[in-house]
């Protein structure tokens, strides 16, 4: 007679998930800010909007994103403590381009089978990212789907919500010819272009993740797992202290696709090559993969995580301020009349 089946025999461990909820709640508690009435454990998180006092016309700004195939590096190395930071960064760095102040964050972890150690490491990373962004981790979902994901793999997605006073939302129409482009340095690949990066570095060049690469000054794994920089604090200060007209998150699609999103039609951006420091990982990928410059430009951030648009009269003050905050920044170009998009000089 066939043995009795249960959910666990089908690959879903409900008991383990229930045992993890108090751990997740404890980890999330370190991120709690004013206005959170309840978070992890209920059917939904409760946020008291009276915490938005002082904002005359509050507008919520929401964004969602995932970590992508950078997770393959975490799987291969068994290091899962930084991808949660990436997940927060990929969402938060989008909404702050609208001058939003981050409020709260939710995550989604879909796995073939739930590993308690891995799940705790992921959520601890998410909490670190939320603290860096100044927002609360208020909930999420952990789904076990053995027929969808491979046994030792998972997907990680996040959802961020912020708030901005309607009068302070940057409008592309305010950008003028002659405005300057101020690039904020990235700290490497962030979380974009990893399908190409892995193809070049691991499959074509046959580099080992645990190998120390002199050109990088660290192991390949350390470089590839370097967390995406979170720009929320510096972005808030730029919008609060200076006449920043626009901010572009240089994420998937690179400068070519993302900078025009902060510009009006009838103008184009001129970006000066050589005006900023490009981290060596990009040169390695370009050389080993024999990749055209245009393909590099539309795939990677190439060393710039954000580009701000500001009047030329404020550029020096902005640079001094950013550098005082230990945020490397450069004048990387300007806005010009005619055409559209981005031109490199």
Q: What is the pLDDT of residues 233-269, one digit of tens each?
A: 999 999 999 999 999 999 999 999 999 999 999 999 9
Average pLDDT over residues 96-117: 93
Burial of 238 (0-12, 13-18, 19+ CB in 10 A): buried
Average pLDDT over residues 92-121: 94
pLDDT band at 10 (very low <50, low <70, confident <90, very high): low
Q: How many CB atoms lie within 10 A of CB 41?
A: 12
| Distance (Å, whole) CA 211 – CA 133 | 32
* Fold match flag (12-168 vs 172-344): no
pLDDT band at 44 (very low <50, low <70, confident <90, very high): confident
pLDDT at 51: 67
Cα angle: 26, vertex 28, 31; to 5 degrees = 125
Tell me what pLDDT residue 71 has. 97
- Mind listing the pLDDT tens digit for each residue in 138-162? 988 988 898 888 888 999 999 999 9
Domain range list for the chain: 12-168, 172-344
Q: Give the Cα separation of 48 and 42 in Å (integer).
A: 16
Q: Which residue has the higher pLDDT, 40 or 310?
A: 310
User: Does 277 have pLDDT greater than 80?
Assistant: yes
User: Is the pLDDT at 329 greater than 90, yes or no?
Assistant: yes
Q: State yes or no: pLDDT of 332 exceeds 90.
A: yes
pLDDT at 1: 62
| CATH level 2 (architecture), domain 172-344 | Alpha-Beta Complex (3.90)
Mean pLDDT, residues 283-303: 96
| Residue 202 CA from chain centroid, whole number | 23
Backbone angles phi and psi of 212, in degrees to 5 = -80, 125
The correct answer on CATH 3.40.50.2300 for the domain covering 12-168 is no
Report long-range pairs for 148-151 (Cβ below 8 Å, ≥24 apart).
148/110, 148/112, 149/110, 149/111, 149/112, 150/112, 151/112, 151/113
Taking a C-beta distance cutoff of 8 angstroms, is the pair 85, 122 a contact? no
Q: Which residue has the tokens 């009349």?
A: 337
Asked if 262 contacts 269 with a C-beta cutoff of 8 angstroms, the reply is no
> What is the SS3 string spanning the chain?
CCCCCCCHHHCCCHHHHHHHHHHHHHHHHCCCCCCEEECCCCCCCEECHHHHCCCCCEEEEEEEEECHHHHHHHHHHCCCCCHHHHHHHHHHHHHHHHCCEEEEEEEEEEECCCCHHHHHHHHHHHHHHHHHHCCEEEEEEEEECCCCCCCCCEEEEEEEEEEEEHHHCCCHHHCCCCCEEEEEECCCCCCCCHHHHHHHHHHHCCCCCCCEECCCCEEHHHHHCCCCCCCHHHHHHHHHHCCCCEEEECCCCHHHHHHHHHCCCCEEEEECCCCCCCCHHHHHHHHHHCCCHHHHHCCCCCCEEEEEEECHHHHHHHHHHHHHCCCCEEEEEEEEECCCCEEEC
What would the pLDDT profile of 56-68 be if each residue is shown by its tens digit?
Answer: 899 999 999 999 9
% of the chain with per-residue pLDDT over 70 = 98
The residue among 2 and 290 whose pLDDT is bigger is 290
- As a whole number, mean pLDDT of residues 109-131 equals 94
Would you tell me the crossing angle of helices 83-95 and 116-133 to the nearest 10 degrees?
30
Mean of the per-residue pLDDT values for the chain? Answer: 92
**Which residues face 269 on adjacent strands?**
335, 342
């Amino acid at each position: 007679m066939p043995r009795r089946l249960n959910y666990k025999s089908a690959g879903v461990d409900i008991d383990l998930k229930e045992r993890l909820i108090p751990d997740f709640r404890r980890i999330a508690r370190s991120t709690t800010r004013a206005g959170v009435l309840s978070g992890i454990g209920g059917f939904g998180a409760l946020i008291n909007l009276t915490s938005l006092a002082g904002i005359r016309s509050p507008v919520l700004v929401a964004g969602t994103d995932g970590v992508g195939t950078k997770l393959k590096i975490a799987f291969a190395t068994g290091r899962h403590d930084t991808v949660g930071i990436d997940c927060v960064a990929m969402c938060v760095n989008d909404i702050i381009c609208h001058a939003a102040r981050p409020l709260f964050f939710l995550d989604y972890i879909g796995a073939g089978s739930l590993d308690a150690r891995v799940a705790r490491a992921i959520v601890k990373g998410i909490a670190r990212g939320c603290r860096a962004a100044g927002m609360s981790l208020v909930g999420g979902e952990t789904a076990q789907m053995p027929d969808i994901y491979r046994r030792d793999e998972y997907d990680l997605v996040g959802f961020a919500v912020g708030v901005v006073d309607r009068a302070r939302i940057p409008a592309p129409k305010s950008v003028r010819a002659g405005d300057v482009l101020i690039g904020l340095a990235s700290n490497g690949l962030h979380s974009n272009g990893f399908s190409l990066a892995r193809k070049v570095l691991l499959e074509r060049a046959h580099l080992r993740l645990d190998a120390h690469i002199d050109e990088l000054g660290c192991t390949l794994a350390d470089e590839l797992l370097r967390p995406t920089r979170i720009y929320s604090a510096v972005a808030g200060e730029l919008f609060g202290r200076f006449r920043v007209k626009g901010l572009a998150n240089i994420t998937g699609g690179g400068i070519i696709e993302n900078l025009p999103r902060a510009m009006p039609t009838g103008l184009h951006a001129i970006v000066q090559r050589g005006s900023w420091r490009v981290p060596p990982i990009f040169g390695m990928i370009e050389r080993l993969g024999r990749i055209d410059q245009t393909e590099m430009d539309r795939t990677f951030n190439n060393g710039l995580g954000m580009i701000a648009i500001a009047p030329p009269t404020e550029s020096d003050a902005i640079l001094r301020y950013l550098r005082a905050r230990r945020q490397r920044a450069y004048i990387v170009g300007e806005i010009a009349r005619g055409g559209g998009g981005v031109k490199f000089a």
